Structure 1
């Protein structure tokens, strides 16, 4: 119990430093702890926890670093009205306990591909938030047939000043240093592994973005911890992309503008892709 408290304190400290706009789990929600909807998929050497809601075309929800499927509390009930929502705890997060010593975004993208195979889903829509947005991009790059459309909010392809304000880059190291001062335990080891993700990855190339075949909506806040110009760069290099920067929003676009986010992403999923250029008008 003491170790868990210390981890929680360290995580809170690091959020205050760098990701204060990324909210904690929704305590009033049962998502992530629903025995009627929850299941485990035995894939790739671990048991991946997921919950399924609604009926319709499959929609995969991928949360961010140190989060869980519960972070999509504001989206699950909305999208379950017209989709089969598959909300997942990523490897080493939530109830998806990871037995390995290392972690990478590519490993996690491979996990989600394996989960889709396990569920016999040939293709799906995807919403990815933060690290989940990074994983969504990797799915689109390496498993192009699996993704119908991707909505990615708060994603980054690099970990330098091109993506983050300079004062944000030290936050993961500060978090890891704080964790290493705590008594060793499996929970501490896992937390260090998870935070090392932010410190070391991703490293997606422009050429890889150019290769994406599906339609992608890149989303960010104008005060996001991911610089808006980085979101612009990502969108500009995906052939079938749209860009949406929300005003007066940080990293938590889907929280700050829940209803607008849900409706806009749903419209993006439902309507055919179209580019409105120059003086063209939307009709």
Structure 2
């Protein structure tokens, strides 16, 4: 719920109707609630809900904060034509309930690694949006053998205003504090509300990834951001500059929701990145 609100808050007036249509499509799409393919796996103390579509080389797609599998309703049919597309509701989100008291990006990342092990997948290409991008970066750092290529959009290394738009950073932090205060007054906290608070806390105070850690990533990475993203362009550039084998793509006239509002372009560019060999562009090659 939180992720959907944040994604669509970034929509401009010209995107207002499209954002409303997207909300309706998320409510009605089979993705994220497909009884024919939906399964649960016992992963690291939780029952993780996941769905798999298509055949071919494995492709793991990771949703953002408070999101779910259905956030990728525009990506699943496109990539399932060529790849075995794997999607899961992350810990404490969607249909994956988590009764623990704490939550971190590292926990979610290790869950995803566990899912790949469960599916007996040696390595996969990875696409991550927002928090999913953070987890994609962590997966490439913590489990480098699992990530063949990685595309991230709207990812950040830290939660402060050096990385996040100041207005939105302040709004998220205030909402988190207000929600925490409200829950303290409740004698019994429903599991769903407890999960929402953990997810909001995650968004407000994490991640805390050092640039030095990015330099350990060995797979090719496509770093994506909107020029008016929730994540500042200079921070997206910082991520790009600290990954040894990386491309950078900044979309003009775009906010945080590139997989929605620029879905055709997003799918094509990411698809080309996954399909073509990475090339190092140095010295005279920079003229090409």
Aligned to 1:60: 60
Please give the per-residue CA displacement for 1:183-209, whole angstroms capped at 9, x wherever unaligned. 532222111111000111111111100
Aligned to 2:280: 275
Please give the per-residue CA displacement for 1:240-263, whole angstroms capped at 9, x wherever unaligned. 000000011100011111111101
Question: Is 1:37 matched up with 2:31?
Answer: no
Please give the per-residue CA displacement for 1:41-89, whole angstroms capped at 9, x wherever unaligned. 1110010000010000000010000100100000000000000000110
Map 1:196-275; keep pairs closer than 5 Å. Answer: 196-275=201-280
Aligned to 1:193: 198
Please give the per-residue CA displacement for 1:106-142, whole angstroms capped at 9, x wherever unaligned. 0001101111111100000000000000000000001
CA shift, 1:100, in A, is 0.7
Aligned to 2:10: 21
Provide the C-alpha distance between the structure 2 equivalents of 1:281 and 1:110, rounded to a whole number of angstroms: 38
Preserved contact between residue 8 and residue 257 of structure 2 (Cα < 8 Å):
no
Please give the per-residue CA displacement for 1:2-27, whole angstroms capped at 9, x wherever unaligned. xxxxxx6xx49x946x8612765712
Stretch moving more, 26-35 or 225-234: 26-35
Runs of 4+ in structure 1 displaced over 6 angstroms? none
Aligned to 1:5: none
Aligned residue for 2:28, secondary structure, equals coil
Preserved contact between residue 276 and residue 282 of structure 1 (Cα < 8 Å):
no
CA shift, 1:278, in A, is 7.0
Stretch moving more, 24-33 or 153-162: 24-33
Aligned to 2:14: none
Provide the C-alpha distance between the structure 2 equivalents of 1:226 and 1:144, rounded to a whole number of angstroms: 25
CA shift, 1:281, in A, is 7.3
1:265–1:282 CA distance, 2 compared to 1 (3 A): farther
Aligned to 1:47: 47
Of Structure 1 and Structure 2, the greater helix share is in 2
Normalised TM-score (structure 1): 0.90
Is there any run of 5+ residues in structure 1 with no aligned partner, and where?
Answer: 1-7
Aligned to 2:16: none
1:228–1:45 CA distance, 2 compared to 1 (3 A): same
Aligned CA RMSD, in angstroms, stands at 2.1
Aligned to 1:4: none
CA shift, 1:277, in A, is 4.9
1:19–1:159 CA distance, 2 compared to 1 (3 A): farther
Aligned to 1:166: 166
Aligned to 1:3: none
Aligned residue for 1:192, secondary structure, equals helix
Question: Is 1:69 matched up with 2:69?
Answer: yes
Normalised TM-score (structure 2): 0.89
Aligned residue for 2:271, secondary structure, equals helix
Aligned residue for 2:9, secondary structure, equals coil
Is there any run of 5+ residues in structure 2 with no aligned partner, and where?
Answer: 12-18
Provide the C-alpha distance between the structure 2 equivalents of 1:203 and 1:189, rounded to a whole number of angstroms: 23
